Chain A
Amino acid sequence: MGHSVTTVNFSVNGEERHVTVPLNKTLLEVLREDLDLTGTTHGCEVGECSACTVIVDGRPELSCLKLGVEAEGCEVETVEGLAEPGDLHPLQRAFAEHGAAQCGYCTPGMLMEAKHLLDTNPYPAPDEIEDAIVGNICRCTGYTRILSAIDDAAGRVSP
């Protein structure tokens, strides 16, 4: 088909990756299709739901609106990389225990945004937790248990 391709060299969940992909592929597509990291979900691909949130150089961003080539040299973290070796991240445990995941489709994006919140603001007030996930749409839970899970995990993430 004659797509222009590019090679992207970046770190994904702590591992150095090198992929050759069409230039017009977004980071979302590269993660899911070229790296088989299907944990990052997608609800709209145009920035209207935030399901596809991943962390790029320490900041949660929408992988659907970032080109793969724009991740060159970056450190990307996805939901697959959240857990510690052999154990879950406190947020994952809290989400599971609080029932913050029903269908689970918004969960990876919520977790990445929540991770950033707790990494930068270890004991957030309730309105700060709300502000952190105000851009993540969930259709199942009504957000109630997502908020309580993040609040609960706040005491368990080392500041």
Chain B
Amino acid sequence: MLRLPEFEYHRPETVDEAVGLLAGQGLGAAMAVAGGTDVYPKMKRKQFRPQAVVSLAGIDGMDEIRDEGADGLVVGAGTTLDTIANDATVAERYPAIAEAVGSVATPAIRRMGTIAGNLCQDPRCDKYDQPLEWRESEDWCWKAPSREGFPPEDVTEADLPCRVAPGAGRCWANFSSDGAPAFIAHDAEVTLVGGDGERTIPLEDLYVDDGINPLDKAPEELITQLRLPAADGTRSTYRKLRPRAAFDFPEMGVAVAVRQADDGTVEHARIVYTGVGSCPKVADEAVEGLVGEVPTADLVEEVAAVASRGTRPMDNTAYHPTYRKQMAGVYAKRALTDLLELA
């Protein structure tokens, strides 16, 4: 039986208490856990070795979905993926989110995992998400340089190269959240609470292109909620490339949102990828060619091709990166075709 290492366990009752417990610790020294579906497997494999686990499950009020009318829909950070996937309002107004969140892992994991956990999940790599002895036999890598977890500050990538594409001075672990592209495609805002108070930013601004820490936030900052804009006729879908119907993370996932006027003109469009780089890839340049146009099949194909060019899959998942990049174009094209009335 693969077992957890020892740790201190805290179960704060408020966000401020949780933030206080996390503050001042280095990356990975104290970790927040909600559903445990990302953190516990990695602790069992000694990828994370936090001294303290700060459970967020004891904080009340984090798991509500609130319709605030013109101010949009608020989704609490602790809402389970299962709840979001089955929520009628989400399915009706933000279908990409229902589809994306409903595609995560397995039914049981969706009942345990939370949306904040999904958005903040540790980027994945097939040289890193492996048992301890496997990583030892491969002489470690910069993201997990020893038995101790995250690299200490004095270890650089030059010392312990990335096993996927060494020499770039960075980690190439793959961003694997299904929820993120769908929420971003719907222009979600995320609220974080930390030692310095509260801030609300567009969700896409939470992410940076780094496989070790893709989140632009202080370690003790916690997501408290997401806000989606009120329904405005935007239609959306999420398409996921993976070998099987369950378990598998996105080899490539794309969320597409569009709004079309009655005369067929595209008023608004977003294409957002996951699984093809260390953070979500927002293809805003590609959609510039779509907005203001009445789309044709040819235009859609071209837009999708441009969008896929912005993806950066690396050789650290099951499918070959060339194939994933190719599918990034095909899946975006198909999604756009399904959503749009074409001329």
A and B touch in the complex (CB under 8 A): yes
A residues sitting closer than 8 Å to B (CB atoms) are: 3-4, 6, 22-26, 28-29, 42, 44-48, 50, 53, 59-62, 65-67, 69-70, 113, 131-132, 134-136
- Nearest to B41 among chain A residues (CB) is A46
Q: A62-B109, A67-B9 are in contact. Are A45 and B36 (CB under 8 A)?
A: no
Residue contact A65 to B37, C-beta cutoff 8 Å: yes
Q: Is the C-beta of B154 less than 8 angstroms from some C-beta in chain A? A: no
Taking a contact as CB atoms closer than 8 A, the residue among B1, B8, B57, B111 that contacts A70 in the complex is B57
Q: How large is the interface on B (under 10, 10 to 19, 20 to 34, 35 or more residues)?
A: 20 to 34
Residue contact A29 to B111, C-beta cutoff 8 Å: no
Residue contact A46 to B2, C-beta cutoff 8 Å: yes
Residue contact B108 to A24, C-beta cutoff 8 Å: no
Instruction: Give Cα A93 to B116, complex, Å.
Output: 41
Residue contact A3 to B6, C-beta cutoff 8 Å: yes
16 other A-B residue contacts (CB within 8 Å) besides A24-B3, A65-B40: A24-B5, A24-B7, A26-B3, A29-B1, A46-B2, A47-B105, A48-B247, A50-B108, A62-B108, A65-B112, A66-B36, A66-B112, A70-B55, A132-B107, A135-B107, A135-B108
Residue contact A134 to B44, C-beta cutoff 8 Å: no
Minimal beta-carbon separation of A85 from chain B (angstroms): 28
Residue contact A60 to B107, C-beta cutoff 8 Å: yes
Q: Is the C-beta of B246 less than 8 angstroms from some C-beta in chain A? A: yes
Residue contact B4 to A26, C-beta cutoff 8 Å: yes
Q: Is the C-beta of B45 less than 8 angstroms from some C-beta in chain A? A: yes
Minimal beta-carbon separation of B12 from chain A (angstroms): 14
Which B residues touch A70, using CB under 8 A?
A: 36, 55, 57
Pairs of residues from A and B, 9 with the lowest C-beta to C-beta distance, nearest first: A135-B106, A46-B41, A45-B2, A24-B4, A134-B246, A59-B111, A135-B246, A65-B40, A62-B108
Instruction: Give Cα A3 to B4, complex, Å.
Output: 12
Q: Is the C-beta of B158 less than 8 angstroms from some C-beta in chain A? A: no
Instruction: Give Cα A119 to B327, complex, Å.
Output: 40
Residue contact B6 to A23, C-beta cutoff 8 Å: yes
Q: Is the C-beta of B245 less than 8 angstroms from some C-beta in chain A? A: yes
Residue contact A61 to B112, C-beta cutoff 8 Å: yes
Residue contact B9 to A6, C-beta cutoff 8 Å: yes
Minimal beta-carbon separation of B118 from chain A (angstroms): 14
Which B residues touch A59, using CB under 8 A?
A: 82, 111
Which A residues touch B105, using CB under 8 A?
A: 47, 135
Residue contact A65 to B36, C-beta cutoff 8 Å: yes
Instruction: Give Cα A73 to B108, complex, Å.
Output: 20
Minimal beta-carbon separation of B242 from chain A (angstroms): 12
Minimal beta-carbon separation of A65 from chain B (angstroms): 5
- Nearest to B245 among chain A residues (CB) is A134
Instruction: Give Cα A48 to B45, complex, Å.
Output: 13
Instruction: Give Cα A53 to B40, complex, Å.
Output: 16
Residue contact B246 to A60, C-beta cutoff 8 Å: no
Residue contact B9 to A23, C-beta cutoff 8 Å: yes
Instruction: Give Cα A3 to B105, complex, Å.
Output: 32
- Nearest to B57 among chain A residues (CB) is A70
Residue contact B112 to A69, C-beta cutoff 8 Å: no
Which B residues touch A42, using CB under 8 A?
A: 1
Residue contact B6 to A134, C-beta cutoff 8 Å: no
Instruction: Give Cα A27 to B262, complex, Å.
Output: 55
Minimal beta-carbon separation of A157 from chain B (angstroms): 19
Minimal beta-carbon separation of B185 from chain A (angstroms): 24
What sequence of 0s and 1s flags, for each residue 1-36 of chain B, a beta carbon within 8 Å of any chain A beta carbon?
Answer: 111111111010000000000000000000000011
Question: Quick one: which of A22, A60, A135 has the most chain B CB within 10 A?
Answer: A135
In B25-64, which residues have CB < 8 Å from any A CB?
35-37, 40-41, 44-45, 55, 57
Taking a contact as CB atoms closer than 8 A, the residue among A44, A69, A113, A131 that contacts B108 in the complex is A113
Minimal beta-carbon separation of B111 from chain A (angstroms): 5
Minimal beta-carbon separation of A37 from chain B (angstroms): 15
